[in-house]
Amino acid sequence: MRRTWIAAAALVLALTSCGARATPVSIALDWTPNTNHTGIFVAQDLGYFALEGLEVTVLEPSPVVSLQLVASGRADFGVSSQEYVVMARAEETPVVSVATLYPHNTSGFAALATTGIASPADFAGRRYGGWGSDLEAVMIETVMENAGADPAQVEVINMGTLDFATAAQVGLADFFWIYYGWEGIHAQLLGLEFNYLPLADLDPVLDYYTPVLVASEATLEERPDVARRFLRALARGYIYCATSPEAAAEILLAHAPELDRELVLASQRWLAAQTERSLGAWGRQDAEVWRRFAAWALDHALIRHAVEPDGAFTNALLPEDFSP
């Protein structure tokens, strides 16, 4: 019944918008296309953007660049993460998180089972292979101190973007920070036995939002209706991914045929279980998550100025029901 109502409403919207020129909108990804982005391509291919009168262009820069493009007005929306938004806001960059793609952090620390690393206490005396960010050092410090261990006993090795499975198998480091929905699934498919410690389980402050969708303050002030329409279409795209992961994976593969098919399918199935499945819940963020992360970042000198949650995110533009 609900599907029939949605289809009918969509038809009415399509008919009433006949002859109207679509509004151009751009979104900058935080990385090359992967399963975190599938909902965008689904909304594009299944016509959800078109039903909202939008013509969407997808750009492919990087996490920091996507924020810069949004802040400068060269992209209307961008995919980023809460830590980057907090750091940007601390430097008075006018970007705002308008939706989270998942309600919980899907990343964590991973180590091959042969290392014997089963908790943050076991990090002492080991080598950490990371991306070289200050955030990583503070996360390790936080979880090790919680476990009564000394973070000074960790050797940090900057591996750049080398993936967990490759680095672990050749012994470049002992433990790593990974996004389970991609690197963890990849390692699993390779048959690697490894221990995984979700950040969300290690400390509440680390259960922050990543990825998030960002926009500039100017875009939200000048074109709130466009933002609402964009988010409504995007929510439908991600809910489709959650309810039809195999079909959604095929859409992503059509846009990025260079990706490993088995990995994309397995990753999309895993992420389906992490995604909200109703428009009334999708994308919503909690002020407490923003408050505690910003306070933690300030306490650990990741930022130099306090960041207020009210300015950093908003739920005001998210869809509230099943209207298309």
CATH number at residue 159: 3.40.190.10
- List the structure tokens of 159: 């591996």
Tell me, yes or no, whether 191 and 240 share the same domain. no
Judge whether 321 lies within some domain: no
Tell me, yes or no, whether 8 and 91 share the same domain. yes
Judge whether 39 lies within some domain: yes
pLDDT at 321: 61
Residue where one domain finishes, among candidates 206, 235, 262:
206
Tell me, yes or no, whether 78 and 135 share the same domain. no
Phi-psi domain of 161 (left: phi exceeds 0; alpha: psi -120 through 50; beta: other) = alpha
Better pLDDT: 269 or 21: 269
Judge whether 94 lies within some domain: yes
Tell me, yes or no, whether 196 and 225 share the same domain. no
The Cα 251–Cα 137 span in angstroms is 37
- Which residue pairs from 115-121 have beta carbons closer than 8 angstroms and sit at least 24 positions apart in sequence? 115/174, 115/175, 115/195, 117/174, 117/175, 117/195, 118/195, 119/147, 119/197, 120/144, 120/146, 120/147, 120/149, 120/197, 120/202, 121/147, 121/148, 121/149
Judge whether 111 lies within some domain: yes
The Cα 124–Cα 80 span in angstroms is 31
The Cα 121–Cα 296 span in angstroms is 21
Residue 173 is classified by DSSP as: -
- List the structure tokens of 121: 């206490």
Residue where one domain finishes, among candidates 189, 206, 223:
206
**Residue pair 98/215 in contact by the 8 Å Cβ criterion:** yes
> Which stretch of DSSP H or E encloses residue 273?
none
- State the average pLDDT over residues 271-284: 96
The dihedrals phi and psi of 82, each to the nearest 5 degrees, come to -60, -40
Instruction: Spell 28-40 as b/e; 16+ CB within 10 A means b.
Output: bbbbebbbbbbbb
- Measured N-to-C along each axis, helices 224-243 and 245-255 cross at an angle, to the nearest 10 degrees, of 120
Tell me, yes or no, whether 223 and 141 share the same domain. no
- List the structure tokens of 269: 């199935």
pLDDT at 170: 94
What is the domain count for the chain?
2
Tell me, yes or no, whether 66 and 158 share the same domain. no
Judge whether 15 lies within some domain: yes
Asked if the model's pLDDT at residue 243 lies above 70, the reply is yes
Tell me, yes or no, whether 38 and 22 share the same domain. yes
Residue where one domain finishes, among candidates 173, 206, 239:
206
- List the structure tokens of 104: 């919980």
Tell me, yes or no, whether 213 and 308 share the same domain. yes
pLDDT at 7: 47
pTM: predicted TM-score of the whole model, two decimal places:
0.91
| Helix, strand, coil content of the chain in percent (nearest 5) | 50, 15, 35
Tell me, yes or no, whether 228 and 308 share the same domain. yes
Judge whether 242 lies within some domain: yes
Tell me, yes or no, whether 294 and 229 share the same domain. yes
> Which stretch of DSSP H or E encloses residue 158?
strand 155-158
Burial of 3 (0-12, 13-18, 19+ CB in 10 A): exposed
Residue 34 is classified by DSSP as: -
pLDDT at 63: 56
Tell me, yes or no, whether 189 and 46 share the same domain. no
Tell me, yes or no, whether 68 and 217 share the same domain. yes
DSSP-derived 3-state class of residue 197:
strand
Asked if the model's pLDDT at residue 301 lies above 90, the reply is yes
Asked if the model's pLDDT at residue 6 lies above 70, the reply is no
Judge whether 318 lies within some domain: no
| pLDDT band at residue 275 using 50, 70 and 90 as cut-offs | very high
Instruction: Spell 219-239 as b/e; 16+ CB within 10 A means b.
Output: bbeebeebbbbbbbbbbbbbb
Q: Domain limits at 159? A: 107-206
What average pLDDT does the structure give for the chain?
92
- List the structure tokens of 86: 């907090």
Judge whether 290 lies within some domain: yes
pLDDT at 79: 96
- List the structure tokens of 62: 């990087």
- List the structure tokens of 291: 């408050």
Could you tell me which of 162, 154, 201 has the C-alpha nearest to residue 178? 162
Asked if the model's pLDDT at residue 173 lies above 50, the reply is yes
Asked if the model's pLDDT at residue 14 lies above 70, the reply is no
